[in-house]
Amino acid sequence: MKFLLAAWLIWLIAVISPCSAQAHLAAAGAHDDPSAMDRAGTAPTIAVIPSVHPRSAQGAQQPAEGQDPPAADSLHWESSARMHRADLFAGDHGTFLIDRNGLEFRARNGHTLRWTFGEVHTFLIAPHHLVLETYLNRSLHWPGERTYRLRLAQAVPPAVAARLAEAVARPSRNADPNPKAPAIAAIPARHRALSSGTNGVLRFLQGGIDYVTAARGDSRSWRWADLQTLSEPDPYHLFVFGYRDTFTFDLKAPLSGKLLDWATDEIFAHNQTMNAPASASVNEPASGATGGHHE
């Protein structure tokens, strides 16, 4: 009986550990980020821009010089960091870096971990935190996938966070938006949460939707590929359904039907692209072929 109780407790800790780690990161965000308030400031009051049609603003959506996400062949960012694994209780100090080939953690003891972008299942990034979920099994036969939590000494620039999301491609959570990115429209809003909520600005960009707030850990940057759909029960409320999270907004100014239609069309187009079947030459045998085994 004692053995069964001990086994049950071990299993419970294994299941709860990664979930609680990610919940803590989502709630705390950049709690130890001294520059978070400088970047976000107090929630700005930005007027809605209903007269600007999204398509007519395409030429104005290029970020100013110095704000572009780095090109794939020039991406390189690194910071001192401490890494924890969800199934281990000790942490390692070292250097974490992101480059065009993937992500890497070099521990001071000489041990190095490296992940290609294809080996990353999903992630949650904030200016000073990164939760990395891989496709690897957890050790000691604990259930779930192997998760790494990193506390970063240097703040991740929004351009690097955006480039990481593009490189991984799969839906993720980016809590490090660029508040200065050119917006097609911006609406002051309140994010409703279970316990309280935050005030900020909902910004519609050419590549997705951002929610920028001075509240730590609650900002978001969704690419179109991160979103499933939008729902507007009335012009003053908006539900943002992402693959990794869902936000409910009380809008302080009405959302125009034209802007909502454009955003939902963009989401639908990107979902269609992701769900498009692969080329027949890859997944289907050539005409006239019989049988066969594909590795």
Could you tell me the domains of the chain? 42-50+174-275 (2.30.29.30), 75-171 (2.30.29.30)
What type of residue is 25? L
Predicted local distance difference test score (pLDDT) of residue 23: 47
What is the distance in angstroms between the CA of the first residue and the CA of the last residue of the chain? 47
Predicted local distance difference test score (pLDDT) of residue 138: 73
Q: What is the pLDDT of residues 167-199, one digit of tens each?
A: 999 999 999 999 999 999 999 999 998 888 999
Q: Taking 80 as the threshold, does the pLDDT of residue 287 lie above it?
A: no
Q: What is the pLDDT of residues 142-174, one digit of tens each?
A: 667 889 999 999 999 999 999 999 999 999 999
Of 172, 180, 173, 250, residue with least CA distance to 212: 180
Residue 137: pLDDT band with limits 50, 70, 90? confident
Residues 100 and 107: beta-carbon distance below 8 Å: no
Rounded to whole angstroms, the Cα distance separating 176 from 39 reads 10
Of 289, 46, 280, residue with least CA distance to 183: 46
Predicted local distance difference test score (pLDDT) of residue 140: 67
CA 281 to chain CA mean position, Å: 33
Residues 226 and 208: beta-carbon distance below 8 Å: yes
